[in-house]
Amino acid sequence: MRYWHHCKEGETYHTDQITLSERDIFEFAAEFDPQPYHLDREAGDNSIFGGLCASGWQVCALMMRLLTDTFKNNDIVLIGVQGVPSMRWKIPVFAGDSLSGDIEVASLQHSSDRDDSGLMICDVKVKNQKNEYVIALQASLYVAHSAQASL
Amino acid sequence: MNKKDTQNLEQKRYIRSRWFEDIPVGEFHVFGSHTFSEKEIIEFGTKYAPEAYHTDPQAAFDTPHRGIVASGFHVAAIWMKLMVSYMERFADGVQDGRRNGAGIGVEDMVWFHPVRPGHTLTYTYEIIAKPEKIIRDKWGIIRSRNEAFNQYNERVFSFEIDILAERNPNPDAACKRELMDNPR
């Protein structure tokens, strides 16, 4: 296992890739973001996005999935997310897009509100199959200090 | 429909269909509540944040969270769900556009307390700024502070978001008056 004190500033982790289907977009939108441009092709074509596209919150959720899997693959014990200091939606995500991310450790800080973990501030960039960035964010993550914390 | 109902309907249409210029800084809304079930917390967690504390009620007791908690982005997705529902209630007959602008970014998103099965969150937003910037010739930016409180009145979630709102192509027109006179 890798704990907070094992992690180093400047390290970069590369995530796996997730491909999003039209059905995935409809399903998420129907439950959480039922706006026309996420539910209907024609409405998408006529919208500011220029096509049927995924809810921005679905893109965030998929980022979280990529990050969670990547930390697991690297044996880093993630206790939770403290916050997202900033996040930008850069371009829309369309059906069939494949997303993957780069997670760079920007800084490591002591946590004032949790004894069991330290903060890892990461710069996260998620790109599509054309290497265009779809979202960029900072995420402030709680990473366990020891095996004790993960119990 | 009596006169009061007609007035209410017109006011609702007005809120949804406002141009950028007509949305005042300081406007505050309590726009919805949601109770998180264990089932939906697990569903969201399994898809998007597969950690024991989001997916497995038994194993979650052995994590620092001491039980199952909702993924932070689940709490955010419910914000969107309630916001769309709130806006839809004002949308009678209003076509796509204006307040249907895209979100462009988020600042200072923080999760302060865990959201557990059975917790009810109430979401609020306040318009806090209208940055002077015009996007693609016709969109302005509305910045709001959004918060969610649980049933113990603890603030559990907070963020600021910039959302595009269409600018009035004819800013001198008395938009409000026009809408009241000719409701869509």
| Average pLDDT value for residue range B56-68 | 95
SS3 A117: strand
| Average pLDDT value for residue range A48-74 | 96
Q: ipTM value of the model?
A: 0.95
**Total-model pTM:** 0.90
* Tokens of residue B33, six digits: 């509540």
Name the residue of chain B whose CA is nearest to A140's CA. B110
**Residue B17: band (very low, low, confident or very high) from pLDDT cuts 50, 70, 90:** low
For chain B, the residue count is 184
Measured CA to CA, the distance from residue B131 to residue B129 in angstroms comes to 6
CB atoms within 10 A of CB A27: 13
Domain boundaries, chain A: 4-19+65-144
Q: Which amino acid would we find at residue A30?
A: A
Rg (CA), chain B: 19
- The CATH-assigned architecture of domain A4-19+65-144 is Roll (3.10)
B67-112: pLDDT as tens digits: 999 999 999 999 999 998 888 776 554 544 455 678 999 999 999 9
> In terms of C-beta density within 10 A (0-12 exposed, 13-18 middle, 19 or more buried), how is residue B115 classed?
buried
Average pLDDT, chain B: 85
Q: How many helices (H) does chain B have, and how many strands (E)?
A: 5, 5
* A31 inside 8 A of chain B by CB: yes
Output phi, psi for B139, to 5 deg.
Answer: -110, 140
Q: Are the beta carbons of B106 and A84 separated by less than 8 Å?
A: yes
| Average pLDDT value for residue range B37-55 | 97
Stretch among A25-29, A46-50, A127-131, B87-91 having the lowest mean pLDDT: B87-91
B129-146: pLDDT as tens digits: 999 898 888 899 999 999
CB atoms within 10 A of CB B30: 12
Q: Residue B98: which region, alpha, beta or left (left: phi > 0; alpha: psi -120 to 50)?
A: left
Number of A/B CB contacts below 8 angstroms equals: 108
Residue A88: its chain B contacts at CB < 8 A? Answer: 104-105
Residue B10 has pLDDT above 60, yes or no: no
Query: Domain B3-181: which topology?
Result: Thiol Ester Dehydrase; Chain A (3.10.129)
Question: Nearest Cβ partner of A64 from B71, B78, B108?
Answer: B71
CA-based nearest distance B146→chain A, Å: 14
CA-based nearest distance B168→chain A, Å: 16
SS3 A102: strand
Which residue is listed with tokens 């960039």? Answer: A125
Q: How many helices (H) does chain A have, and how many strands (E)?
A: 4, 5
Terminal-residue alpha carbon distance, chain A: 13
- Predicted confidence at residue B178, as pLDDT, reads 47
Name the residue of chain B whose CA is nearest to A89's CA. B104
Kindly list the residues of chain B whose beta carbon comes within 8 Å of any beta carbon in chain A. Answer: 44, 47-51, 53, 62-65, 71-74, 76-78, 80-81, 84, 96, 100-111, 136, 139, 159, 164
A86-120: pLDDT as tens digits: 999 999 999 999 999 999 999 999 999 888 999 99
Cα–Cα–Cα angle for A130, A136, A140, nearest 5°?
Answer: 140
Is the Cβ–Cβ distance between B128 and B175 less than 8 Å? Answer: no
**Residue B173: band (very low, low, confident or very high) from pLDDT cuts 50, 70, 90:** low
- Predicted confidence at residue A117, as pLDDT, reads 93
- Predicted confidence at residue B1, as pLDDT, reads 58
* A125 inside 8 A of chain B by CB: no
Residue A51: its chain B contacts at CB < 8 A? Answer: none
Name the residue of chain A whose CA is nearest to B60's CA. A151
